[in-house]
Chains A and B, each alone.
Chain A
Amino acid sequence: MMIKTFVVKAENLRAAANACASRSRHGLLAMFACDERISTGSYAIYCLFDGRKPDGLVTVKGLVPAEGPLEFPSLTPVIPAAAWYEREIFDMFGIKPTDHPELRPLVLHENWPSGLHPLRKDFDPAREVPEADKPFPMLHAHGEGVFEVPVGPIHAGIIEPGHFRFSQAGETILRLDAKLFFTHRGIEKAVEGLTPDEAFPMVERICGVCSVSHALSFSQALEGLTGTSIPERAKWIRVLTAELERLYNHVGDIGNLSAGMGFQVAVSNGARLKESLLRLNEAVTGNRYLRGMVVPGGVAMDVTGKLCREIGAALERFEPDFASLVGLMRENDAFLNRVDTTGIVPFAAARDLGVVGPAARASGVDWDMRRDKPYGGYGELDFAVPVRHSGDVAARLWVRVDEVPQTVRLIRQALERLGAAGPELAAAVPPAPAWGAGAGWSESARGANLHWLMMDDDNRIWRYFVRSASYPNWPALTVAAPGNIIPDFPLINKSFELCYACLDR
């Protein structure tokens, strides 16, 4: 992994970032701040861009002097994808993006007092934080006959918490605003001062259903930073585990989408198939959500010949079963009528917001980290990346459906290569260089999870930033919903399969 860094003064950050954005294929990948007063006397604003080399990233680092003014020119007016990152930086560090078009709180809700910024190093996590009751402004639409429908944070089904505000004219959605970060668990702060080994169980628990992807991104960031190369066997077990994660997620999501329209046969069969995959996960890793397999340096457990045969047999049973489930959808006019042309994200919006994963590939953005910035063993494997162009619920569904056979192919290739790999499972990870920074990424079922890590001079975590796939994808939902009717919202929402836990951290 190569990170090329340009260091600029805060006042030049917008111009420098804009120059990088216009030269990169995918625009802004992530943006965050880091309290580096101890080493450089400044706060730093990092903007990450795709590099030319497959394993490269370009970073623009803007220095905000500790003595102030604590501000930088907002990138949002020229790079829309920066909007949420900048709101988060303002919440967590109190560094103001000037000229931000809508600078309102994002992570810290009305209960949090003004002027307290938890990711600053002088914020003591053990301190008592008094209750506040400040306003939390939401976006509205105005006009005669326009009314508002508030939904959540607690929803009617078994789903994660988020608050939606629909501005309506009749049944049609005019505008959607979301208040999220209800499940914010302060993980980035909680791991500061821990060794990578101590922090790892929390990393695996950022998200229950992207657990492998987060474990991989963190491990790869650390391995890149410490120059650790993982054994051959670990490489294929990691691919196997990551693809098992994609498989149960995609199958569950495909079944669940049908719940948005009451197509119960598909819901039941999706849940049944997903259960069989979760049981396979438990047999392979001891945990239905694949926790405990990927560790920094390699993997924790072997996948024995017996387990390989078990996985192979499970795939044999799975394939025809899944094909007939998809058949129920493909040939059902009532189903197609609901998904076709519903909740469109146009290509330009997907590109401008930096949308990732199946949601991006459904809008014609042909990008998959496994192929385009290969990590682990993916560069050596043969698979296709399905792309659609209509950007609607159907496109997001069919991209997932088409990815399933590719995932099965990848699992079979990983199993094959495991047979020839040596027995070693993990390499020792040496201490990280003081104040070194590393990035790691992986393509989860929802898109790229990007982690950034800075270690201090005692091999402890100084700063850990997690950009989950759901981070750039959430704003796309507010593009997809307007113009549709409220009863279609659950369907549109489900088609993105957004993680709240991943986003909120």
Chain B
Amino acid sequence: MLKILQKIMAVGTVTEAWDAGEAPERFRGRVAPAGGSCAACGACVAACPVGAIEADGDTVTVNQRACIFCGRCVERCERGLLTQTGDYKLAELGGQLLGEAVRAEIARTLGRSLHIRHLDVGSCNACDFELNQLLSPVYDLQQYGVDFVASPRHADLLMVTGVVTRNLTQALLMTYEATPSPRLVMAVGACAASGRTFGADNYAVRGGADALVPVDVYVPGCPPRPQALLYGILLALGRIEQA
């Protein structure tokens, strides 16, 4: 018992502000055009393993929801026109959260508190590990009035990780149905946000979360770091502004 108390006192408080953990130099975040003239060679499009890059003449756009942040496009651009930034605040609102009136209604109903049910519909477990880290004392999710709950019956938000597999389709639909309205769905990570990580024609995969249920928040990343998840949660609650 004394040892336990000693350990608690020695460690002290380790909780950080939500975005205090800065991305290190090597972190691979949003891919951005660095300027300069594109040769329209298509190397970046061909290099992307998930088809996240579209080139229209010399204009290149990266679909952040599908991007797995591998950096191959940056590496293989002949003219070095793409750079990988440290930007991880990539969450975007969709669905119900796009309408101001509905957003206000959701904010009024849910208030400052939000109960989350996690749902793995075909994840590699990396996103799930990051959700678990949100509960570590470093991030201390509960300090925001937000917590994970054991049942969809108690949940306001479903955090969906993974591509929707054939074998989890029923679980996703039943969990969604079991969640009382108003309910929100967050697609966490490239798999849930795009469904493209394991190829387009796959007998075992149905697609991203929005192939089956309406999605209100997309959090890109492979996996999204905990700060990116907190950004998405706080954005959905209207507690911070879009970066």
Among B27, B28, B171, the residue within 8 A (CB) of A153 is: B171
Residues of the B chain whose Cβ atoms lie less than 8 Å from the Cβ of A118: 203-204
**Contact residues in A for B151 (Cβ distance below 8 Å):** 156
Asked if A160 and B123 sit within 8 Å, CB to CB, the answer is yes
CB of A341 within 8 Å of the partner chain: no
Knowing A153-B168, A286-B27, A328-B7 are in contact, say whether A278-B203 is a contact too (CB < 8 A). no
- Interchain nearest-CB distance for A487 vs B (Å): 16
Measured between beta carbons, the chain B residues less than 8 angstroms from A201 are 49-50, 68, 70, 72, 197
Contact with A along B109-138 (1 / 0, CB 8 A): 000000000111111111111111101111
| Residue of chain A at shortest CB distance from B130 | A288
Give A contacts to B, CB under 8 Å. Answer: 109, 111-112, 118, 123, 125-127, 129, 153-154, 156-161, 181-187, 189-190, 198, 200-202, 205-209, 211, 252, 265, 268-269, 271-272, 274-275, 278-279, 282-289, 291-292, 301, 324-325, 327-328, 331, 499-501
A301 touches B120 (CB 8 A): no
Q: Given A161-B168, A501-B125, are A272 and B204 also a contact pair (CB < 8 Å)?
A: no
CB of B4 within 8 A of CB of A265, answer yes
Q: Is the interface of A mostly helix, strand, loop or mixed?
A: loop
Contact B128 A125 (CB under 8 A): no
Asked whether A158 lies within 8 Å of B132 as measured between CB atoms, the reply is: yes
Query: Which residues of A lie under 8 Å from residue B133 when comparing CB positions?
Result: 271, 274-275, 278
Query: CB-CB contacts of B20-59 with A at 8 A, as 1s and 0s?
Result: 0101111110000000000000000000011000000000
**Could you name 26 residue pairs across A and B whose Cβ atoms are closer than 8 Å?**
A123-B203, A156-B150, A157-B148, A158-B131, A158-B132, A159-B120, A183-B122, A183-B162, A183-B168, A184-B165, A184-B204, A185-B198, A185-B204, A186-B198, A186-B203, A202-B199, A205-B68, A206-B124, A269-B7, A272-B137, A282-B24, A286-B24, A291-B222, A328-B4, A500-B125, A501-B125
Residues of A within 8 Å of B71, CB to CB, are 286, 292
**Could you say which of B11, B124, B125 contacts A269, with CB atoms under 8 Å apart?**
B11
Do B166 and A284 touch (CB < 8 A)? no
Which of B135, B163, B199 has the most chain A CB atoms inside 10 A of its CB?
Answer: B199
Question: Which residues of B in the span 73-105 have a Cβ within 8 Å of any Cβ on A?
Answer: none
Closest Cβ of chain B to A264, distance in Å, is 10
CB <8 Å contact, A112 and B70: no
* Complex partner residue of A208 from B11, B23, B27, B126, CB under 8 angstroms: B126
Chain B residues positioned under 8 Å from A208 (CB to CB)? 123-129, 223
Instruction: Collect the chain A residues with CB atoms within 8 Å of residue B3's CB.
Output: 324, 327-328, 331
- A186's contact among B131, B162, B205, by CB below 8 Å, is which? B205
Residues of chain A within 8 A of B129, CB atoms compared: 208-209, 252, 289
CB of A374, distance to nearest CB on chain B (Å): 28
Q: Quick check: A287 and B122 within 8 Å, CB to CB? A: no
Say whether B142 faces chain A, with CB atoms less than 8 Å apart: no
Query: Which residues 193-209 of B have a CB within 8 angstroms of A?
Result: 197-199, 201-205
Q: Is the CB of A501 within 8 A of B28?
A: no
B25, B50, B68, B166: the one contacting A112 at CB < 8 Å is B166
Residues of B within 8 A of A189 (CB): 202-204
4 smallest A-B Cβ distances: which pairs? A208-B126, A186-B204, A271-B136, A156-B150
| Distance A327 CA – B7 CA, assembled complex (angstroms) | 10
Indicate whether B169 reaches chain A with its CB closer than 8 angstroms: yes
Known: A201-B70, A209-B126. A272 touches B136 (CB 8 A): yes
Bound CA span A474–B6, Å: 38
Q: Which of B68, B137, B167 has the largest count of A CB atoms less than 10 A from its CB?
A: B167
Q: In the complex the two chains form, what is the Cα distance from A233 to B26 in whole Å?
A: 19
Residues of B within 8 A of A279 (CB): 21, 24
**In the complex, chain B residues whose CB is within 8 Å of the CB of A274:** 133, 136
B14 at the interface (CB under 8 A from A): yes
19 extra interface residue pairs, beta carbon distance < 8 Å, beyond A185-B204, A185-B205, A301-B26: A109-B166, A111-B166, A118-B204, A154-B171, A183-B124, A185-B165, A201-B72, A205-B198, A206-B124, A207-B124, A207-B125, A271-B137, A271-B138, A272-B137, A283-B26, A288-B223, A328-B4, A331-B3, A501-B124
> What's the least CB distance linking B164 to chain A, in Å?
10
Q: Does B17 contact A (CB under 8 A)?
A: no
